[in-house]
Amino acid sequence: MFDDDMKSARLLIVDDQQANVTLLERILRSQGFVNLVSTTDSRQVESMYRQAPADLVLLDLVMPHLDGFQVMTLLQRLSGDEFLPVIVLTANADQETKLRALSAGAMEFLGKPFDLVEVQLRIRNMLQTRLMHMALRSQNAQLEDRVKDRTQELEQTRLEVIRRLGRAAEYRDNETGLHTIRMSNYSALLARVVGLSGSDCELILNASPMHDLGKIGIPDGILLKPGKLDAAEWITMKTHPLIGAEILSGHETELMRVAHAIALNHHEKWDGSGYPAGLKGEEIPLVARIVAVADVFDALTTARPYKSAWSVEDALEYIREQSGHHFEPRLVDAFLSLLPEVLDIRRRYAEPE
């Protein structure tokens, strides 16, 4: 099945005796092999292989300059993880020499003087193995590409589901769904400035839209109430982090773990006066502390059924006042330093008038 490929395979003959080289070339050409290269100087092997890698090497062991063992070591380095058949040409090699040659990378042996049928069969078998190995590598590479493409498709689908889950909650008290987009971009921006890695910033960007997922479980009469909530209603409203965390629990991916931490803790406050657990300071996960700043800024500057939008100046002043109380001071300073970038995000994802 590989006859055409075998006939065009590149065969490299390395033997310091020109008579042996000439004889092998004559035998191989009579069998239809057309891509033959040879040398009687083993020092030329490296440059010849680099110029055009061989598919099979016919190699003498006893040579000046570089012997066959040294050449095999060189070829293994040059071919890397490629399957490169090496057939050793030998007259009366003892068992120890053959074992050493096999350890060095030899696949087969051809006895001298050469037998026409033996030469044909050994080369054919080795080339067939080489070609099947190459075909398998090609198929594996194609499969890896397909798996990679499919994995990327699944990841994009998962991220889209996550975004839609976040918006599903937001649509209940915000008609456009732009809050999650702005807030997640603010969060990723802030995360980058305080030194989180690019991959961590991307996790926050993709996980933070689920911060208020638990609002799905809050009755409309409370969530959309235009006035101030009474004590009982406020108790119900404060359950939404627990609801969101429950929805997001039980998943082992890093993205879902980050989303869970954000949903559960983004209403905690630096001074311990937040909810649902009253965590304080660094007890609050960093991702939640970051999202808290971004979420409050966007909530203040966005109109809701129960309030008008604040000006950017008033919102920034509130955040500044809450440094050390609601928010971690370091994050407040970083957020205030990002005002041009924050305003750019706000313009790009502005609410329709």
pLDDT digits (tens, 9 = 90+) for 266-324: 999 999 999 999 999 999 999 999 999 999 999 999 987 678 899 999 999 999 999 99
Model confidence at 1, pLDDT cuts 50, 70, 90, reads very low
- Res 249 pLDDT > 70: yes
Closest CA to 126 of 142, 113, 141, 110: 110
Looking at residue 4, what is its pLDDT?
A: 65
Higher-confidence residue of 209 and 159: namely 209
Instruction: Name the average pLDDT for the chain.
Output: 87
Residues 113 and 228: their CA atoms lie apart, in Å, by 102
Residue 295 amino acid letter: D
Across residues 208-212, what is the average pLDDT? 91
Looking at residue 281, what is its pLDDT?
A: 97
Looking at residue 126, what is its pLDDT?
A: 84
- Res 173 pLDDT > 70: no
What pTM, to 2 d.p., does this model score? Answer: 0.59
Looking at residue 102, what is its pLDDT?
A: 86
Q: In which residue ranges of the chain is CATH 1.10.3210.10 found?
A: 171-348
Looking at residue 176, what is its pLDDT?
A: 52
Q: In which residue ranges of the chain is CATH 3.40.50.2300 found?
A: 3-143
Across residues 230-248, what is the average pLDDT? 93
Structure tokens at 235: 């108790």
pLDDT, tens only, 110-155: 878 887 888 878 888 888 888 888 778 888 888 888 888 887 777 7
Superfamily of domain 171-348 in CATH is Hypothetical protein af1432 (1.10.3210.10)
- Residue 267 near residue 214 (C-beta atoms within 8 A): no
Domain 3-143 has CATH 3.40.50.2300: yes
Please state, for a pLDDT cut of 70, what percent of the chain lies above it: 93
Matching residue, tokens 């040659």: 101
Render 102-161 in DSSP notation, one character per residue: HHHT--EEEESSPPHHHHHHHHHHHHHHHHHHHHHHHHHHHHHHHHHHHHHHHHHHHHHH
- Res 167 pLDDT > 80: no
Buried b (16+ CB within 10 A) or exposed e, 216-230: ebbeeebbebeeeee
Model confidence at 178, pLDDT cuts 50, 70, 90, reads confident
Looking at residue 166, what is its pLDDT?
A: 67
Give the least confident one: 82-91, 189-198, 288-297, 325-334: 82-91
